[in-house]
Chain A
Amino acid sequence: MIKEKSIEHLENAAVKLTVTIGQEAIREEYDELLKSYAQTAQIKGFRKGHVPPNILERKFGESMKFETSQKVLEDSLKEIFDEIEEKPLPYSQPSLEGELEFDLEKDFTYAVKYDVYPEVKLGEYKALEIEAPQVSVTKDDEERELKALQDQNAIVMEKDEGVVETGDVVTVDYCEMDGDGNETPDTRREDFVFTQGSGYNLYKIDDDVIGMKAGEDKVIDKEFPDDFENKDLAGTSKKLKITVKAIKQRQLPDLDDELAQDISEKYETLADLKADIRKRLDDTVDGRLREHKVNALVEKVVATSKVPVPESMVAAELDSAWQNFLRQFGGQEEQVLAMLQAQGRTREDVHADWRPGAVTRIQGRLVVHKLVEIEEIEVTDEEINADLEKQATSESVTREQAREYYERNNMMDYLRREIRERKLFDALIEGSKVKKGKKISFLDLLQKNQ
């Protein structure tokens, strides 16, 4: 039924398809529709199935013509898409260009626009030069981790005797007093708990409680500087009554083998724990550096490649980002929109902000995809098994269970792709020259990649 078709490539992987359909085909389609209507239509004054076509045409002619045009359009599009190589992207709905001119007595011509998978022209991707920062895990980093563990395992003990010391957890009542020494009831707080030295209290009384006993009360004059963080208090002076109700002491566990065993059964001695921390830090650094290199590589390749980004891809990416955004706020779309409106922004503004990032991400993905294709990277079953094995160990399940999990969730392809990309990146990094960048510390690295 298709008489003519022409495909015109536009910018950004968009395609304009012009199709002409012969008049006979349209007539045929129309008559068929008319016949089917004639059999079922019920019009007053006629028995079912006895309505003459001309009456039907008079009553429903326009809508039938429209229906025919839609049907012809859909059928022909389907036929074409089954035939041609460059299929439209799944999220790119072909959209009509211009007005439809439909006449039963004439050939029917229409044009649709849609996006196809973009043709990526790769630039240089072998032997690239990238810069990777130099990071070494120092003793300090190790100590910090260990300290954090120690902190997590601290025991808080009630202190019956003695006075408040640095780092203690104190429970206090406090209230402001007016000039005559009477309490202002509105400002009274009871059983307020804070850690001395943390500053997590309204009047910053950390230093004032030091040396107080449990059960003791004290009236202090506190002056607040003009640049005090609480605007209401800045530049004022207050008389405060503080009652210490309880003091608790944080007892840090000793750094010894016992602590190591407490943290996990894996460790026997403190040395084991330390070694493990070291290993974990090293792994983190390796992972981060690899990520950094991969990003740098992809960025380089994208920079030298020609990567057209179809509009529909960007739209899909933005939409998924938007969905993520909604999920992060855990709210309904209306709520989030209202919130944005309060900031004087709309969804379109946010999308516009995200757009460059989205385009970069898509370009990266397209390039990686193309590279996988060009380098003909295949994944063998052994590699999949090895990967499953690894995952199984870290999740402490058997390999079969891991495999089952992936198969049940239809994630085998995903795994395959992941391995393929990993192999690609390995090869890329292997083939590239890594220039030593400037030295940065472990903490900087963590922050940089976040």
Chain B
Amino acid sequence: MDADKIVIKPLLTEKSNRLREVHKYAFHVDARANKIQIKAAIEELFDVHPISCTVLNVKRKPKRVRYRKGYTSSWKKAIVTLPPNETIGIFEGA
């Protein structure tokens, strides 16, 4: 799998913003990718050297539009820990 297919988008939220203090960066990734692939992809895309990667599946949530019931899509979130001296530009607001 290609690196840009694995990493779908960075997660920019209040929570992920706070995580930066401990050098962690969150991404929305392809649900089929594993930690090793994600680490490699981040390394390739952002030119950094991830120390570790944790992943979790965000469960689908029930959703209703009028009387039609359905679910939001489930997706995979990955949190990558970088060494303290490395950052990822798109999170820093540069």
Contacts and interface: CB of A to CB of B under 8 A. Distances in A.
Contact of B11 (A43, A45, A53): A45
B94 A55 contact: no
Judged by DSSP, the binding face of B is: loop
A45 B14 contact: yes
B17 interface: yes
Interface string A7-46: 0000000000000000000000000000000000001111
B19 interface: no
Given A43-B12, A45-B16, A52-B17, 11 more contacts: A44-B13, A45-B12, A46-B14, A50-B14, A52-B93, A53-B93, A55-B12, A55-B17, A55-B93, A57-B93, A58-B94
Contacts of B16: 45
Contact of B93 (A45, A50, A54): A54
Interface string A36-80: 000000011111001011110110000000000000000000000
Nearest to A45: B13
Interface string B35-63: 00000000000000000000000000000
A8 to B, nearest CB: 40
Contacts of A52: 17, 93
Contacts of B92: 54
Contacts of A46: 13-14, 17
14 contacts: A43-B12, A45-B11, A45-B13, A45-B14, A45-B16, A46-B13, A46-B17, A47-B14, A50-B14, A52-B17, A53-B93, A55-B12, A57-B93, A58-B94
Contacts, number: 23
Which size class do A's interface residues fall under?
A: 10 to 19
B72 to A, nearest CB: 14
Contacts of B12: 43, 45, 55
Interface of B: 11-14, 16-17, 92-94
Contacts of A50: 14
Contacts of B13: 44-46
A52 B92 CA distance: 10
A131 B94 CA distance: 78
Task: Count chain A CB atoms within 10 A of each CB in B11, B92, B93, B94 and give the residue with the most.
Answer: B93
Nearest to B12: A45
Contacts of A54: 92-93
Nearest to A54: B93
Contacts of B17: 46, 52, 55
Contacts of A43: 12
Contacts of B11: 45
Contacts of A57: 93
